[in-house]
Every structure is written in C-alpha cells, then in structure tokens.
Structure 1
C-alpha cells in the first residue's frame, strides 16, 4: 500500500468557535449530467432537472460535542446505486472540513513502519472490491446485491464529494489506499491487522482494539425499555457527527439515525435506530483463535457493508440476523443486540413471549443468534461488555483459553463489568439514571475495579473506562489494564418514545467531574496532549446531554452551485 497516497486535500486545521450550517444538493439534468449546488449561491436553477439528494449539516462540536447531519434522498424512482452515490457526495461536500481533521487525528501514519502489512491489505481490498463487482454484475435483479451496490456507491460518492470530483472514474487501487476507505473499514481492520500481522507503531501511544459497554434495561411494570451504548476508543476519535439517512428504497429500515464520525457512512460504534423501529447496537468480542483467520478471504462482504444492509432491510431481529449472516467475512466480530420496539407494549402487563430482543454473535465461519425476550423479562436487563455469551462462540474464539491463562477478566459472568452491571442495573429507573450508570467510573473506590496490579485497581474496570488515568509506570498483568490512549468517549440512550422520531439522548466526551479521582477530560492537562492528534476538538469535555430534533422532511435547497462531469458509472 502506497502510504504517500494517504494525503489530505485542503486541510483545515481550525474550526470556528461558532456553530455553522451547510446544505448541499446533488441533481441530474435530463441529459444525465450531474451537478451539485449549495444554498446561497444563485445560478441557473433550470440546469437541475431532477434533485437526487440533499445533505443538511449543522456543526455544534464546540457547543455540544456533536455535529449533526441529515441526508435525504428525494425520490423512490432513483436507482439504488444512484441514491447511494448522490447521498455520499452531498455528505462529502457538506462535512469536508471535519473529514480533513478526522483523517489527521486517526488514520494518518497508519502504515508507518508497516509497509508489508499495508501492501497485503491493499491486495486483499482490491480483490474484495473486484469480487463484489462481479457479484453485482452477475446478479443485477438480486435485492441483496442491489443493497451492496448502494452501500459501496455511497462510499464512492463520499470520497468524490470530499475531493469535489463528481462522477469521477472509480479506481480500486486508489480507493483501497484512500484515508476515507481506511476510516470506513476501521472495525474490520482490527481482524485484518491480525491476519496480516500488522506491527505496532512504536511512535504512537498504545490504544488497543476498540471496546464498548451496552445495556438494554426493562423498567419496572414494563414502563419502558431503555437502550444504551457507550463507545470506548482512542481519544483522537472524538470528532463526532450524529447522522440521519433517509433513502427511498422501499425497505422497512430505509430511514435510520446513528452516532458516527466524519468520513464514515456507518456508525462504527455501533448504535443505530431504524424506521422499522429497530434499535441496534454491538459490542466487540475478541478472536484469539489464530487458525480461524484463514477463513477471512476477499470473497466475502465485510461487516461494515453487511450491517448497513441489515439495518435497511430488516423489520425484525430475526430478519436482521439472517441478512447480516450472509457472506460472513469473519472480520469485526461483535455481539449485536436488536430490540424491536414494535413488539413492546409500554406499560402493559402482558407482552409477547418472543420478538422483542434478538442477540447475534459472529466469528469467522460462525454466526450464532437467538431470541432473548424471555431472558430479558426474567432478569430485566441485557448487558454488553466485550465478552461472548454463546458457548459455541466462547469455544471457537478460544476465549475459554484466555480465561485459563488470565482468569475471570475474560469470562462472561465474572469479568468486572458483568459484576458491575449485575449490581447496579437495579438503580436504573429513568433516562437520567441510565446515563448515570453508563457514565460511571469510580475505579479507586469500587471493589469491582480492583486487579492484581500496582496500584491495585484499573480505570479500565468500569462501565465507562478512562485508561488515561492509569499511571504510566504502573504494573499490570496485560496491556488492556494499563495506561493507554483509550476511554469511553460518549453515551447514547433511546426509549420507546424517542425511537418513534429516531431520536436519542447523547453525551459526547469521556466521563469526569463526578468523583474526585476521575477529573473532567481536558487536553490542556492530559498526559496524551503531545502524543495523540486532536485537531478541531474542544479542549475541555464537559458537555451536557443533547436530544437533537431532526428536521422535518420535505425541505429542499434550490440554488445551483456547480456543473461537473457528465455521467456517473452505473454502480461498479
């Protein structure tokens, strides 16, 4: 992989303190020519014969910790691939400044000291793109491959929008090394890095794979089901965008909102709400079975694409699992939890015996899933904390061997977060108490945060971790418990009312300021400030919860901006 191609186009190293808005539309003339235009720049509107998609972008990163993006496809008559491309291009134009900054903060230098790995990765990704192209061409009427085509064209459009190259030719090798593509496959990269043996970069602070905490909580008297997720990641990833996509494909989940990042058309966290009233989240589970990596081949569909297809096409947890399980790549192995709010009757004593919650786990060559409605009503909660639940997945991932080697930290029911959730879920009575639990970290005082370490506890052992608070010179039985560029960077919560409008309440940034030993995260005082890029981020992360009200559909822009290339490739 030629790392010299991973460059920035028009880097913006500063963001104004005030919030701002951008609105872009992609349209098509009767001749087939494509255009994009921005509100406020008046040219000949007649050149736009048909609007395809509009992006509405509102940047409040410095005010709330979030930016907000809505992308609306205009008509169901637009082919799937063109819906995807137009939506991606409009987003790329509207969010290009944050994309610049996020690239600097996350994927710049990814291949430093890892040329052999990146060369192998490039070949794998080119082969994967070619294989999907072949399947799309051989199955033009197959709905699944139409969905794949929509998704990859949305990615192509995003790249072209960022670069201002509407309808440019698609070059697989350029795509495979593009920083936006690297951001797109961030989750899948964790397992591809294992397969191709990526060496650690000694110049960077150890971060480790991303992990998360999650909780589905049934309130007393069936008053509600609260659905929450906390992302654990590098602090360099804290430029955030909450997004809502409105496609016109006719699928049950064609409209969906989610927490996300600049340059990503997926959630990556993952936390998604769909127009089918499905709430979807995942927590990553480790794969310690090196032999299983042989099952990862280019002739599969990577998780970032399979998840998008499942979100749009499913109207139940079972349908989601079946759609997601097709062409399993064995990369970005997670436990997915799907709650179907259509099946839940708020405040009613009698509830369906099945269909409310479905749990899916993946490993290379294996998908295991089942309905967990009875379990939820028996225990009143379903937690997620990066350990597999199903015995088949525990064995196949060789997590059982990690328990033998390192103890209960790798177990399902005795790892610290399992015990914390078991102890504290009963305190959740409403949205505020759910947020309090999901933001909790009292690692120096909580006996469940203790470890065979020096000092004898770890800020990793909490629902919302803060590994930057562990001393650099501490001693720990394995790296995950020590000092690293890694922590909880948000919380998202929805309920049976908010999901009707695809809304959720969210807090951006690490937890802090509640207990003495967990201070508010501030780049000016962080030991990571000189080592972790954080361009465009606020210094001090002390934001209040935000419940964003999505705009009403039907509002479009009407000012032609720019005439560009005549034709778009019809998919691959």
Structure 2
C-alpha cells in the first residue's frame, strides 16, 4: 500500500502500482466519523485507466468496504439488524428471488459483452463483490461475527436493497406485509426570478436511525465499450450517501455529464401492478439508478436507461436537470413531495382513490408541501433563502400545517409532518392524528442538499445532515424517548450553528462567481497581471468568515486536525473544536497544556491555531 498523510486524513493507494486512490476524512474512531460542522463523513475515490474496468471496480469496492467497515457495521445495525427475526418466510423468499435474479443478470452479461449497459451492470456487481470482500476483511480483523440476516443476503446487499424492502415484501409475501411505508423527501428545481441561476435542492425524509451519512465522490476511469479512449458520460459523481451504499438512496447526485439527479418517493397503492414482477425480468432499483447515472448524457437518455427492467420497487418521481441546457432567463419552479405529478401515474398507482377516501392531502396541487412551496418559492433569491426554505418547519404557527386545511381534525390541531422539513418526533406522543404519517414517530427530514450552475461545474454541492432546528429545538436522542438503534450518531445534531457555516459557504460561492465574472471581463479587455492577482487575493476560505466569540480572561485555540492522545498525559483533539490552552514550564516549545471542561492534557502546537 502507498500511504501519504494530508491535512484532512490520509490518501490511500492500493493495488498494482497504485491502481486506486481514496481520500478518507472520517477517522476510524466512531466518535470522529463526522465533520464537526456538517455531520457528514467524507469519502473520495479515484481510479485510473491504465487498469482494466474490472480491476477498478473490484478494488474500489475493497478499499471502501475495508476503510469504512466500522461505519458500515453501525449502519447495518441501525437499519437491518433483526429484520428477519419475525419475517423468516419473507427472507427465505427474498434469498431465492435474489439468487434467481443474479443468475438472470449473469446470463445477460455473458450474452451482451459488447453492450455498454450490461458492461456497466458487470462492473456494478464487481464493485459490490469488492465491498463485500473489503468489509469481510474488516470484520475478520475486528472479530465481528456474521449476523442472522447474512444467511439470506450479504450484509452489503441488505444495506443497498433496503429502500426496496417495502415493495419486495408486497411482491413476495402479499398476504403478510409488516413493513411500513415512509414518505421520502421534498425537492425543488428553482431558477432565480431574474433567470440568472438555476438551483436544485432536496431534503431526505427518513427514520432518524438512518442519520449515519457519508458524502461521496467517485471518479471512475471507465470508457465506453465501442471507444476505449472515450470516457462514459457519468464517469464522476458527487452524491449524498450512507455507509456501504454504492448509490445515494436519497437520491441526490451531481454528475460529470452536468446532470443533477434527485427524486421524491411515490407510494404504490395498487397491488395488482406487482403481478408481473419476476426475478428473471427485472433489475433492482438501486442498480438501474447507478447504470443510468453512468451512461446518460441527457434527461431523455437517463429516463430510457432507468426504465429498462423495471422492478416495481422504490418507486420515485425523478427530476433530471441538465445544466447543459440551462439558459439564463428561465423562470418558474418545479416542486416534488411524494405525490405523483403525472395523471396516468397518479391514477394507476391508486393515489386518486386515496384522495377520494382521505381528501386533499393526497392531491399533487393541494397537499401541504405543495401549498407551502407555492406560497414561499418566490422568496428564494439566493442560496441562503433556498437553504431556509428546505429547512423550514414552523408547524405550530404556520396555518398550512393545521390539519383542518386538509379536511381533518387533529389533537393538537397541527402536525410537524405538514411542512417542508418534517419533524415527526415533535408531534404529541398522546396526540390524535387521522393519518398515520402525521403522528409521533422517530422520523423526519434528516438533511438538506443544494447546488447551482457554478457548483455543478466542479461537481460540488452544499449539504447539512440532521433534523432541522431552524424554528424548532435540536433533536436529541437521550431526551427523545425513542429506542431505535443509532450507533455512531451524536446524541444531538446541533444544526442551528450550521446556519452561520452555510451562510459563509454561500457568501464564498457568491464572491467566487463575481470574481470569475470580473476576471472574464478583464481578460477580454487585456487586463494586466497585477489587477487579476488582486481578485485572487480577495478570496478567502468560507471558514474564515466565522469568527468565534471568546470569553475574556483565557487563551483559546482551534484544533486544525484530529489528534489521538498517545497516553494519559495527552488530550485528544477533534478538528475545529475550540479548547483552552496555556504555556507550561514543564513542556517543550512544541507542546501546550490543553483544557476541555474537566479534561486536561498536553497537546501538540502544530495541531493548533491560536485564536487570541
């Protein structure tokens, strides 16, 4: 292995001659898996075209599986562990279904060796196999035993197919369905009113046990089958994800094809639509998702690719935004929120019948988020106001969060589900809610992601993880009363402090955009080097905009990097935390005395930025 340290973690190369490169920012120590500002772990992985596609796929999986093994194990325990205890028949049928499906896939790959679609299918399965191998190696080294569920599917496959479980249970055991449907996500595509920029934003609605997250960037050196020197359109992708996933799951992707892909989930109430699903004629949804992302160069291509071999599982309303087609002057907006827009889908999936029985909450135009987006989308004038809308939940004061608006009576009269960013944990545990999804549950909007035309060029996005506390108190596991597994998560995601961070990031991107426009104008007029250099010097890191207010009388320092104490005389550090420091005659010039509450110990000066 080739290893070189960086300020962020470590760069790890593994394979013949360094076939792969991975930047691992998440420390293996559980409590340090998250960036302290955003609550995301971060993983970047790059492969090189001097190695075959197959080696790139397998080795990328092995690296990710091994290095993120601890996060994968915690993610599995939080979301899959115990699933088969009361669903043995379903798990046995799913095992057989998956085996038959794998046989179908292998046969199709063998028959279509010169086809890009099936070549990518082969690479996806090899990446999964690599993940399984790398994760297995981590388990062996850490003496982690196999789980009950692993006798049916590998733990990696369980994790990836988890979003499809609700539908698979209805396909395989329609007479015994125990898994509950959850709404997933709010999304908007919004040009600014003056048409100068295009925003794409999304938040995930999910169980709070899912908040172990990884922001990933894959850069694969895959070429097309026909032209070995031409890269596939979606060779690189930045996406919000979770440990062990090869896809997003939310879903939110920024692709090298200049496509941005997001979705909100649609519920299928029509059981008869599952009758034609067989193991030998479908591909699992997460796999079709990855294939479309890799090969498509337009919205039409993405749709055509994704529609093939439809599994009827994890049914979503996808929005494919092609920034190559964006022209300044575009106006309007598109919002999505778990109700089908297209009438044929709305009718065939049984949503029309739900509307007839239960009222306007099941209407695309008149459900809660439709009304709130319609009322507030015009307030989006920049990324800061977009962020505020995607984190919005003022359910006790907003009349559109009152159940009466949807012809229902609740006690109390509102629900924290009826907003852009749900906080079902805040609903009254003894309340009365006529619709199941409105009740008190360990569920809600667990993140927000957004990008614009300048960020897409660099495969960048702004993201925050954790339940909104913009108008509400921060979520805290220890005070919630919920008993869900949440290994690896902090007790509380104090996301309110992220408003300053996101504001700083937004201001930084705005300055970058302005300076790029100025540079372009000056270059076109033959500006001299000194004036151009002035623009570069004006740009500062977004983190420089946030200056902590320090109590007087003591000396403070910010930790630049994580540091693990070597013995009881030292104090461990978490990157970006602020501690009290002092000089000591007992220490040499390279060390200071550090203090965090009741914890004290020496800390290396090279890891500190003295603040006052």
Normalised by the length of structure 2, the TM-score is 0.73
For residues 20 and 159 of structure 1, do their structure 2 counterparts lie closer, same or farther at Cα, with a shift above 3 Å needed? Answer: farther
Aligned 8 A contact 1:468 1:527 in 2: no
Secondary structure, counterpart of 2:100 in structure 1: helix
For residues 485 and 295 of structure 1, do their structure 2 counterparts lie closer, same or farther at Cα, with a shift above 3 Å needed? Answer: farther
For residues 302 and 395 of structure 1, do their structure 2 counterparts lie closer, same or farther at Cα, with a shift above 3 Å needed? Answer: same
CA distance in 2, matches of 1:122, 1:321: 29
Aligned 8 A contact 1:81 1:146 in 2: no
What's the C-alpha RMSD, in Å, of the aligned pairs? 2.2
Question: 1:78 Cα shift?
Answer: 3.2
Aligned 8 A contact 2:69 2:138 in 1: no
CA distance in 2, matches of 1:404, 1:143: 45
> Hey, what does 1:292 align to over in structure 2?
273
Query: Any residues of structure 2 matched to 1:392-407 within 5 Å, and which?
Result: 392-407=344-359
Question: 1:327 Cα shift?
Answer: 1.3
The structure richer in helix per residue is 2
CA distance in 1, matches of 2:66, 2:59: 11
Of structures 1 and 2, the one scoring higher in RCO (CA 8 A, sep 6+) is: 1
CA deviations 1:100-159 (Å, max 9, x no partner) are 111111111111211111111111111111110111111111111001011111111111
> Hey, what does 2:334 align to over in structure 1?
382
> Hey, what does 2:115 align to over in structure 1?
142
Indicate yes or no: 2:449 matched with 1:492.
yes
> Hey, what does 1:84 align to over in structure 2?
57
Aligned 8 A contact 1:82 1:150 in 2: no
Question: 1:521 Cα shift?
Answer: 0.8
> Hey, what does 1:415 align to over in structure 2?
367
> Hey, what does 2:591 align to over in structure 1?
none
Secondary structure, counterpart of 1:253 in structure 2: coil
Query: Any residues of structure 2 matched to 1:192-271 within 5 Å, and which?
Result: 192-197=168-173, 208-249=181-222, 250-271=231-252
Aligned 8 A contact 1:207 1:234 in 2: no
Question: 1:520 Cα shift?
Answer: 0.7
CA distance in 1, matches of 2:245, 2:304: 24
> Hey, what does 2:30 align to over in structure 1?
none
For residues 176 and 89 of structure 1, do their structure 2 counterparts lie closer, same or farther at Cα, with a shift above 3 Å needed? Answer: farther
CA distance in 2, matches of 1:20, 1:186: 31
Which of 341, 356, 367 is equivalent to 2:323? 341
> Hey, what does 2:22 align to over in structure 1?
55
CA distance in 1, matches of 2:8, 2:491: 19
Structure 2 unaligned residues grouped into runs of 5+: 1-6, 27-32, 140-148, 223-230, 404-408, 509-612
Normalised by the length of structure 1, the TM-score is 0.78
> Hey, what does 1:374 align to over in structure 2?
none
Indicate yes or no: 2:433 matched with 1:433.
no
CA deviations 1:348-379 (Å, max 9, x no partner) are 44x6xxxxxxxxxxxxxxxxxxxxxxxxx3xx
CA distance in 1, matches of 2:210, 2:289: 21
CA distance in 1, matches of 2:481, 2:173: 29
Query: Any residues of structure 2 matched to 1:155-194 within 5 Å, and which?
Result: 155-164=128-137, 177-194=153-170
Aligned 8 A contact 1:80 1:147 in 2: no
Secondary structure, counterpart of 1:228 in structure 2: strand
CA distance in 2, matches of 1:132, 1:256: 25
CA distance in 2, matches of 1:126, 1:411: 39
Secondary structure, counterpart of 1:216 in structure 2: strand
Structure 1 unaligned residues grouped into runs of 5+: 1-18, 29-49, 167-172, 352-376, 550-572
CA distance in 1, matches of 2:430, 2:124: 45
Secondary structure, counterpart of 2:15 in structure 1: strand
CA deviations 1:481-513 (Å, max 9, x no partner) are 11112110000000001111111111110001x
> Hey, what does 1:128 align to over in structure 2?
101
Question: 1:344 Cα shift?
Answer: 1.3
CA distance in 2, matches of 1:79, 1:383: 41
For residues 314 and 89 of structure 1, do their structure 2 counterparts lie closer, same or farther at Cα, with a shift above 3 Å needed? Answer: same
> Hey, what does 1:281 align to over in structure 2?
262
Aligned 8 A contact 1:62 1:538 in 2: no
CA distance in 2, matches of 1:435, 1:313: 31
Which of 471, 481, 490 is equivalent to 1:527? 481
Aligned 8 A contact 2:170 2:177 in 1: no
> Hey, what does 1:69 align to over in structure 2?
43
Question: 1:25 Cα shift?
Answer: 2.9
CA deviations 1:251-305 (Å, max 9, x no partner) are 0111001000001010000000000111100100000001111122212111101
> Hey, what does 2:607 align to over in structure 1?
none
Question: 1:453 Cα shift?
Answer: 1.3
Aligned 8 A contact 1:61 1:538 in 2: no
Please identify runs of 4+ aligned residues in structure 1 that moved more than 6 A. Answer: none
CA distance in 2, matches of 1:63, 1:231: 20
CA deviations 1:5-53 (Å, max 9, x no partner) are xxxxxxxxxxxxxx9735433313xxxxxxxxxxxxxxxxxxxxx3322
Indicate yes or no: 2:300 matched with 1:324.
no
Query: Any residues of structure 2 matched to 1:29-48 within 5 Å, and which?
Result: none
CA distance in 1, matches of 2:93, 2:431: 36
Aligned 8 A contact 1:126 1:176 in 2: no
> Hey, what does 1:302 align to over in structure 2?
284
Secondary structure, counterpart of 2:442 in structure 1: coil
CA distance in 1, matches of 2:411, 2:138: 54
CA deviations 1:437-461 (Å, max 9, x no partner) are 0000011111111112111111111
